[in-house]
């Protein structure tokens, strides 16, 4: 049982890690959402150019994946200023790759899922900043599905999408957001990150790999 305990200092460090990480991940998603919105709705020519220059979209996706893997496996990059360089490059590549996927998705359901996931992570970030404890399982579940409902209602009212498809995508995205939060909560509470708590900047890049591993464990069970 001693493996599941931590000192007061480790707990404070983990809480600060969580606060900073959620804010940085929220920034990643907000930038991706704004860039995607410009491409899809606010500047149609941008979306057509992104589709025409599809090579840049694929390169952005590969670059984002490589940066996430480097941040995950290479401990030497988890220090200033390398961590910030990786974070900035990842955020730019991630935003463009998501915008590319949104542009080629004729159903626009991916754009809706991006809205839901952004709202969920922003909710987690707000809770972390206002709370002095880790996000409990029940609260993270309520935040995930509450954010999904908040985004779902305007899309049902103001768009012509199938209500059933919107509900299905909202539930699936909320589950993904919930398991990402659960994986982070477990890791920081039990110090599975070891020395990684000192660097939430690269943690915001590793976040996507960590969440994918949580999903793999879930489907394995």
**Count of beta carbons in the 10 Å neighbourhood of residue 48:** 12
d(CA 68, CA 94): 10
Is the pLDDT confidence value at 1 over 70? no
Q: What integer pLDDT is reported at residue 20 of this predicted model?
A: 86
pTM of the model: 0.84
How many whole angstroms separate alpha carbon 33 and alpha carbon 118?
A: 8
Residue 9 pLDDT grade (very low, low, confident, very high; cuts 50, 70, 90) = low
CA distances from 189 to 36, 69, 201 (A): 34, 23, 18
The predicted model gives 135-159 an average pLDDT of 89
Weakest-pLDDT range from 23-27, 106-110, 195-199: 195-199
CA distance 209 to 75: 15
Q: What is the dihedral of CA 166, 171, 173, 178, to 10 degrees?
A: 160
The structure tokens listed for 44 are: 């149609």
- Average pLDDT value for residue range 145-156: 93
Share the mean pLDDT of the chain. Answer: 82
């Amino acid at each position: 049982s001693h493996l599941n305990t931590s000192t007061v200092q480790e707990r404070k460090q983990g809480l600060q890690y969580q606060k900073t990480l959620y804010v940085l991940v929220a920034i990643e998603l907000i930038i991706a959402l704004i860039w995607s919105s410009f491409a899809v709705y606010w500047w149609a020519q941008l979306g057509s150019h992104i589709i025409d220059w599809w090579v840049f979209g694929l390169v952005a996706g590969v670059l984002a994946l490589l940066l996430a893997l480097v941040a995950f496996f290479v401990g030497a990059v988890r220090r200033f200023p390398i961590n910030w360089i990786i974070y900035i490059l990842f955020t730019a590549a991630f935003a463009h790759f998501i915008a590319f996927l949104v542009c080629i998705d004729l159903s626009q359901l991916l754009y809706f899922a991006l809205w839901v996931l952004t709202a969920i992570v922003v909710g987690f970030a707000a809770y972390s900043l206002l709370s002095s404890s880790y996000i409990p399982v029940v609260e993270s579940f309520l935040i995930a599905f509450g954010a999904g409902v908040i985004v779902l209602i305007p899309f049902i009212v103001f768009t012509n999408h199938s209500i059933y498809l919107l509900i299905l995508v909202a539930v699936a995205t909320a589950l993904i957001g919930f398991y990402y939060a659960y994986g982070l909560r477990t890791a920081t509470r039990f110090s599975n990150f070891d020395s990684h708590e000192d660097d939430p900047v690269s943690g915001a890049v590793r976040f996507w790999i960590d969440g994918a591993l949580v999903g793999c464990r879930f489907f394995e069970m």
